[in-house]
Structure 1
Amino acid sequence: MASCTQRQDIVTPPWANQQQISDTAEFDLAAIQQAGELIGLTLSGPDTYYTYRGQLLGTQYLLGERFATEIGVRLRIEVCRDSAELKTRLAAGDGDVILMSIDTTNHSMPGWVIGKGKPLLTAAIRQWYRPALLDEVKKEERQMFLRPLVRRRVYAPMLSRGVISHYDSYFRTYCKSIGWDWRLLASQCYQESTFDPQAQSWAGAKGLMQIMPGTADHLGLSRTDMHNPEKSIEAATRYIKELDGELSDIHDRYERENFVLASYNGGLQHVRDAMRLAQRDGKNPQVWDQVKPYVLKLNLPRYYRDTLVHAGYMRGQETVEYVDHIRQRYMKYRKSAR
């Protein structure tokens, strides 16, 4: 925080020991607005906070983001391991509010625990909040997953025997830098956009290879070029090369390709979490078929709250299907295109 004000007074959470709480200087609404951010403490989970295809989601996160916008600041999330850490970090002044529905009896508040010495922040939340907001946010989140993930024109998976798409020459050229069969990259491209260079997802991914704006910035791909077929493919291969390097401990080329594809779709850190869980349970963490069950299990609290898991909750079904579909299409392309 861009301030020297102490941030350690808190309201006692329902589970806290009163003797553990100390009173110090307040860090109320005006100081939060001056600093420019509201710090929310929460746990990973579908109802609290998680990432999906580069998008920050979770009912409590979206609710907190609305309030932060209301008071003119950004929301910064600090993810805790459990309720004990939530209490400890709020007591230490590491956050302004616990973004979880802990107290459901007070319908004038969203159920959050707010730091002590913050009467103006408490009043602002009470004035802003109305019970209907929670239902609105839940409906908004549901609608994200009801509408098509990607808006695109669907093209045939092959133009003719021997010709997969209009972009085959780009696949051939840029696959040289990553050592992939160009038909595998073509299979991935079809899975991402069905060869529609104008495709765009609700999360903001664009172009043939559905590159997120933040990833485009990281790769040096101009946002004005995100729909350019060649530049999208070239940038995607550079991203794949990065992921390949991060996964260089997987020595088998076929297996590493699977893990790279999974990371491209679901995020490298989620994939690493699944690998650690698989290894703990005596599975081979370098074999995709032994790791993908754990990608699926990362939507269960028992797994995404495990101490081995760093990235938290994951919607893993899509990632597993993503790799499966690309591999199935690749086998067809190998028979039909040289």
Structure 2
Amino acid sequence: MKLHLLLLFIPLMWCACKSRTTPASPMNAAFEREKSASGGESDLEDIRKSGELIVATISGPETYYDYHGAGLGLQYALADDFARSEGLKVRVELANDTTELLAMVKRGDADVAALPVGEERIKEAGLQPAGVNDAKLHTSWAVRPHAEELAEALRAWFTSNTLAEVQAGEKKRLREVHEVRRHMQAVFLSRDRGIISVYDPLFKQASAATGWDWKLIAAQCYQESGFDPNARSWAGARGLMQLMPRTAADLGVAADQVGDPQTNVAAAARLIRKLSGQLADVPDANERIKFVLASYNGGIGHVRDAMALARKYGRDAHRWDEVAPYILGLQSPQYYRDPVVKHGYMIGSETAGYVQSILSRWQGYG
């Protein structure tokens, strides 16, 4: 009897195992799209369904870099222009060099390669040129050999006028980079009474939350917005402490509350406290302030890159004066393409100047 039950149970087990869904392999999104396309759906249709175009490129001022949560660089601007024409968003994946960049597209880590090489190199890599192709810029775009719908769409989009139009738009954005629409207030509301602004009570609350001198937070606020709660940057940063929408959301601030002075300053205090915790390896509290300010402005990833460079070249990675030269260095290919750098190019002069201006103003506040 037991034998009969066992013989009956084995086939049932086999059927049950066979009917289970095979676990999905950890393939990338672009490869899964091409796999789906081979089943009858075009590669471009699948990209449209995903809602994003994955573009691989190399970090640099002429290609792509992250600026306060917004993408800049000509290659990014071109990719964004094409993506918008298709109702898509752009997701950038960075490569360390051209060889890695081509390999990323070939194995399906990205839909498009935007790279500074000619068509011959693309063909040698087994990819097909599509879209941007400009000899003066020495740049071409590439897609996988079977991504025909995407290739055709790119060729139709890129005309003789496309590059000039996108370049003009990018130049306009670069002019706006350092502009914040704000109504500057006086540096001191009443020097005799020690009143810096009408928002001093908010800065004092933030001081209690962060452990920073309230006058330091006031100095940072003046640098960010000039004490204008309605200040807005071209990239979408808002309020007294110029919080980006994504940062504000991460800090639990609703979109319709970002401009509220109390909410804005309190959220900035939470960000300062968070960054201070992430930089707890900087032992000296005064030095840590400088690193936190730099991270608030330029992003902690770039600051960590500069610290890694300082360490590599025998400098003290926990002293701002020894790291600041590498913050500036991240504007140079020699440094932003260094293997220890994970976040690429940044406008280091702005971040270094930001820290210096705030510290000088803080000292002036007494």
Q: Deviations over 1:238-265 (max 9, x none)?
A: 0000000000000101000000000000
For residues 6 and 222 of structure 1, what CA distance do their matches in structure 2 show? 38
Cross-structure match for 2:77: 62
Q: Deviations over 1:69-120 (max 9, x none)?
A: 2223322221111111112222212222211243379997432112101222
Q: What is the letter of the counterpart of residue 321 of structure 2?
A: D
Secondary structure of the equivalent of 1:39?
strand
Say which structure is richer in helix.
2
Q: What is the letter of the counterpart of residue 44 of structure 1?
A: S
User: CA distance change for structure 1 residues 191 and 172 in 2, over 3 Å: closer, same or farther?
Assistant: same
For residues 63-82 of structure 1, the aligned pairs below 5 Å read 63-82=78-97
Cross-structure match for 2:215: 183
Q: Deviations over 1:29-63 (max 9, x none)?
A: 22322333322111111111110111111111111
* Distance apart, 1:8 and its partner CA: 12
Cross-structure match for 1:150: 180
Q: What is the letter of the counterpart of residue 87 of structure 2?
A: G
1:48 aligns with 2:63: yes
* Distance apart, 1:7 and its partner CA: 5.3
For residues 88 and 193 of structure 1, what CA distance do their matches in structure 2 show? 44
Name which structure has the greater RCO, CA cutoff 8 Å, separation 6+.
1
Q: From 336, 350, 353, give the equivalent of 1:321.
A: 353
For residues 296 and 26 of structure 1, what CA distance do their matches in structure 2 show? 48
Secondary structure of the equivalent of 1:197?
coil
Q: Deviations over 1:142-177 (max 9, x none)?
A: 212323520000111001121111011111122111
For residues 2 and 140 of structure 1, what CA distance do their matches in structure 2 show? 29
For residues 280-295 of structure 1, the aligned pairs below 5 Å read 280-295=312-327
Cross-structure match for 2:170: 141
Q: What is the letter of the counterpart of residue 32 of structure 1?
A: I
Range 287-296 or range 104-113, more displaced: 104-113
Q: Is the 8 A contact 2:330 2:345 kept in 1?
A: yes
Cross-structure match for 2:160: 131
Cross-structure match for 2:251: 219
Cross-structure match for 2:21: none
Cross-structure match for 1:100: 115
* Distance apart, 1:280 and its partner CA: 0.6
For residues 209 and 185 of structure 2, what CA distance do their matches in structure 1 show? 27
Cross-structure match for 1:204: 236
User: CA distance change for structure 1 residues 4 and 195 in 2, over 3 Å: closer, same or farther?
Assistant: closer
Q: Is the 8 A contact 2:131 2:151 kept in 1?
A: no
Q: Deviations over 1:163-206 (max 9, x none)?
A: 11101111112211111111100000010011111111111000
Secondary structure of the equivalent of 1:112?
strand
Cross-structure match for 1:84: 99
* Distance apart, 1:235 and its partner CA: 0.7
Larger radius of gyration: 2
5+ long unaligned stretches in structure 2: 1-28, 121-128, 134-139
User: CA distance change for structure 1 residues 273 and 67 in 2, over 3 Å: closer, same or farther?
Assistant: same
Secondary structure of the equivalent of 1:185?
helix
TM norm structure 2: 0.82
For residues 131 and 265 of structure 2, what CA distance do their matches in structure 1 show? 51
For residues 353 and 53 of structure 2, what CA distance do their matches in structure 1 show? 37
Cross-structure match for 2:54: 39
Aligned residues with identical type, % of pairs: 45
For residues 193-272 of structure 1, the aligned pairs below 5 Å read 193-272=225-304
CA root-mean-square deviation: 2.4
Q: Is the 8 A contact 2:112 2:141 kept in 1?
A: yes
For residues 3 and 291 of structure 1, what CA distance do their matches in structure 2 show? 40
TM norm structure 1: 0.89
5+ long unaligned stretches in structure 1: 10-24
Q: What is the letter of the counterpart of residue 153 of structure 2?
A: A
For residues 107 and 246 of structure 1, what CA distance do their matches in structure 2 show? 43
Q: Is the 8 A contact 2:130 2:152 kept in 1?
A: no
Q: What is the letter of the counterpart of residue 42 of structure 1?
A: T
For residues 7 and 107 of structure 1, what CA distance do their matches in structure 2 show? 20
1:113 aligns with 2:157: no
